[in-house]
Amino acid sequence: MEWAEGSFRLKSVVLTVVLIFTGTLACHAQDKPAAACNFPYDGFATSSHQQPQIAEFTIGTALNLELCGSSSGCAASRTAIATPVWILRKQGAWTCGYYSGRSGAGTTWIRSDALRAVSYDAHPPLKAWIGTWTGGEDRVVIRSAGAPGMLHLAGNAVWRGRENDVHFGDMKGDASPAGNHLHFVEHGPDSCTIDLTLLNRYILASDNQLCGALNARFQGVWKRIGP
């Protein structure tokens, strides 16, 4: 009898937690932004005059506005803790951001209290660039080059379509950073060109679509995975 009573109390506690969480979802849904969270028309913020903001998920479950229903409120979307998000803008309790998850990449409204801003140095030392950086299946290795102030970059990009349609890209060469920006040109004006912005343990990247086959791009949010 004691076990049954304890079981009932446990179920009551669980039910209470579920009701509180559901009420929180509905409350956040009420002030959701009306405008769509669209990708910027000018692409990733990697030019030398831009200082974009990166944040990380602090919890494994966050509210995703794209999953909000008119009657049931906002559904919980699973995310990996420390997943990076490129912040585009904020409105009320919501943040419009671009992030890469297990199911793909894109822009969406995210509950702001599920994110933590990542601080960075706008004038980092040269060694801060050195390491192995990945974004999806893309992989770029940056190391010190022979000349002072120069870095050597070598990487591969992969795009997978339907029915085993796979396209590849690659890049290799030297470049010199200016602050936390790096403008890489492989051979000349009509060759692979990539702009990088170093944001602590992340790099925001964009290219000129000349670094490989169709859709194989060096762009997005890269994360350092090793020295």
Residue 124 has pLDDT above 50, yes or no: yes
What pLDDT band is residue 1 in, cutting at 50, 70 and 90? very low
Q: Which residues fall within 8 angstroms of residue 218, CB to CB, at 6 or more apart?
A: 138, 140, 155, 157, 169, 171, 192, 194, 205, 206, 207, 211
| Average pLDDT along the chain | 81
Q: Which two tokens stand for residue 81?
A: 């803790």
DSSP 8-state secondary structure symbol assigned to residue 39: P
d(CA 183, CA 119): 22
Residue 183 has pLDDT above 80, yes or no: yes
For 152-177, the pLDDT digits (tens) are: 999 999 988 888 889 999 999 999 99
d(CA 172, CA 177): 16
What pLDDT band is residue 135 in, cutting at 50, 70 and 90? confident
Residue 134 has pLDDT above 70, yes or no: yes
Radius of gyration (C-alpha) of the chain in whole angstroms: 22
- Higher-pLDDT residue of 140 and 6 is 140
For 30-84, the pLDDT digits (tens) are: 577 777 888 998 889 999 999 999 999 998 766 565 555 545 555 566 778 888 9
- Higher-pLDDT residue of 30 and 189 is 189
| CATH assignment of 126-226, among 2.40.128, 1.10.287, 1.10.3470, 2.60.120 | 2.40.128
Q: What are the DSSP calls for 43-68, one per residue?
A: -SS-STT---EEEEE-SSEEEEEEEE
What pLDDT band is residue 115 in, cutting at 50, 70 and 90? very high
CATH superfamily placement of domain 1-30+43-118: SH3 Domains (2.30.30.40)
- Find, among 59, 104, 60, 105, the residue nearest to 78 by Cα: 60
Q: Are 94 and 32 in contact (CB under 8 A)?
A: yes
| Average pLDDT rounded to a whole number, residues 15-43 | 58
- Higher-pLDDT residue of 133 and 41 is 133
> How would you classify residue 73: left for phi > 0, otherwise alpha for psi between -120 and 50, otherwise beta?
left
Provide the residue ranges of all domains of the chain, joining segments of one domain with +. 1-30+43-118, 126-226
Tokens 């009509």, located at residue: 190
% residues pLDDT > 90 (the chain): 50
- Find, among 121, 118, 153, the residue nearest to 138 by Cα: 153
For the chain, the residue count is 227
Q: Which two tokens stand for residue 62?
A: 């966050």
Tell me if 1-30+43-118 shares its fold with 126-226. Answer: no
pTM greater than 0.95 (yes/no): no
d(CA 77, CA 200): 27
Residue 144 has pLDDT above 90, yes or no: yes
- Higher-pLDDT residue of 198 and 103 is 198
